[in-house]
Structures are given as structure tokens and as C-alpha cells.
């Protein structure tokens, strides 16, 4: 096993003896392997923007500024296991949950309307009552809201049939999102043709 310590790389053999290797040597080996095409340079990726999280925070901050709210919160029971912190990561995530005195609103945010949001939200509504963190408010009536930036007749119709609210809200950063997504997709489509 090898690890870096200061300006030296340390190699531990099976007898757990440590051998010092100068960092310059290991750097030169890596450089040579890279030049010969044996290994690739690490790819630097742009940090991914979580648009829907920004969207949820702006919407809730605008319409429910004084109500208690949670963002990207897990819903559902914690599966049994030896390490509950590890096993609770398999639960579903609601984009936003707003607790009002009289009821709880569970929200799913989509920059573009998607029919799959309906089933996601419906499952969050179902799982909410078995969420240990909300045991003291699980008895309150629950509403499900799909919040999106544009109208989509089939999604809206189905949401209303399932008893969900369909809300259209354009966030302040919509133009920036559109530039990075809609225009880029159009460019990729045109370049393929």
C-alpha cells in the first residue's frame, strides 16, 4: 500500500516495513506513464449546480418565509441494520417539506415538468407518516405540490387527478438555467444533424 507523507511517498510491504521513496521519483514515474498513454490525466469537472435545490429555497422563501421548512429531506422508515446512519441513506428524498400550523406541504420541484414527478411526490406523501423525524406532526393533513417553471397540460391534468397541486413559478435564475440547459441541448441537436 502506498500513501503520501510530506514530500515522500511511503510504501508499506506485507511485513509492514516502511521504505522511503523520494516524491520526485514517484512524480517522474507518473509523468512517464502519462506520456506513454498508460494512465490518463485526471479530468477536471465543473462543479455541478443543483438548480432544483436553489429553486426550492427561492420558492419556499418567497411563499412560506415564516413557516418551518426542510430541504432535500429523507422520508420513510429507517431500514433495520447494524448501523442506522448507513442504512437510512436508502430512503427517498423530498425536495421541500413545509410545516404550517394546520398542515404539511410536501413539494417536488422540476425545472421542466415531468410526469414522473407525480409518482415521486405521491410516494413521498405515503412515506411521510412513517418518517421518525416527523412523528410528532404525522397526524396533520398533507398536501402534495409539484412546482415547475412552465405549464405542461398532461402533467397538470394527471397531478390534479391524483389530488396534487400543480404550481408554476419562474425563479430569478431561470434565464441562467435556460442558457446552460435549453440552449446547450439545441446546440447539441444541431451539431448532430
Q: Which tens digit of pLDDT belongs to each residue from 83-133?
A: 666 665 667 899 999 999 999 999 999 999 999 999 999 999 999 999 999
Residue 93 counted as domain residue? yes
Residue 141: CATH number of its domain? 3.40.1350.10
Instruction: Please name the residues in contact with 148: beta carbons below 8 A apart, sequence gap of 6 or more.
Output: 109, 110, 111, 112, 113, 117, 155, 166, 167, 168, 169
Task: Indicate the pTM of the whole model.
Answer: 0.69
Residue 63 counted as domain residue? yes
pLDDT recorded at residue 82: 66
Per-residue pLDDT tens digits for 133-188 = 999 999 999 999 999 999 999 999 999 999 999 999 999 999 888 888 776 666 66
Clarify whether residues 31 and 56 are in a common domain: no
Number of domain units in the chain: 2
Clarify whether residues 56 and 31 are in a common domain: no
Clarify whether residues 6 and 71 are in a common domain: no
Clarify whether residues 121 and 64 are in a common domain: yes
Taking residues 33-46, report their average pLDDT.
75
Burial class (CB in 10 A: 0-12, 13-18, 19+), 133: middle
Clarify whether residues 30 and 55 are in a common domain: no
Residue 71 counted as domain residue? yes
User: Do 167 and 151 meet the contact criterion of CB atoms below 8 Å apart?
Assistant: no
pLDDT recorded at residue 189: 66
Residue 44 counted as domain residue? no
Residue 84 counted as domain residue? yes
Residue 81 counted as domain residue? yes
pLDDT higher than threshold 70 for residue 71: yes
7: containing domain = 2-35
Amino acid at each position: 500500500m502506498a500513501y503520501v507523507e510530506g514530500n515522500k511517498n511511503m510504501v508499506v510491504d506485507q511485513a509492514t516495513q516502511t521504505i522511503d521513496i523520494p516524491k520526485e521519483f514517484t512524480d517522474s514515474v507518473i509523468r512517464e506513464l502519462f506520456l506513454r498513454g498508460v494512465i490518463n490525466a485526471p479530468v477536471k469537472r465543473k462543479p455541478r449546480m443543483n438548480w432544483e435545490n436553489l429553486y426550492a429555497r427561492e420558492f419556499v422563501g418567497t411563499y412560506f418565509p415564516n413557516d418551518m421548512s426542510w430541504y432535500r429531506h429523507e422520508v420513510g422508515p429507517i431500514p433495520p441494520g447494524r448501523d442506522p446512519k448507513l442504512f437510512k441513506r436508502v430512503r427517498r428524498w423530498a425536495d421541500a417539506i413545509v410545516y404550517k400550523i394546520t398542515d404539511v406541504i410536501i413539494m417536488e420541484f422540476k425545472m421542466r415538468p415531468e410526469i414522473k414527478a407525480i409518482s415521486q411526490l405521491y410516494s413521498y406523501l405515503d412515506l411521510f407518516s412513517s418518517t421518525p423525524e416527523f412523528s410528532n406532526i404525522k397526524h396533520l393533513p398533507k398536501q402534495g405540490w409539484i412546482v415547475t417553471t412552465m405549464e405542461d397540460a398532461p402533467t397538470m391534468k394527471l397531478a390534479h387527478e391524483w389530488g396534487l397541486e400543480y404550481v408554476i413559478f419562474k425563479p430569478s435564475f431561470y434565464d441562467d438555467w435556460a442558457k446552460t440547459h435549453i440552449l446547450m441541448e439545441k446546440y447539441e441537436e444541431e451539431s448532430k444533424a
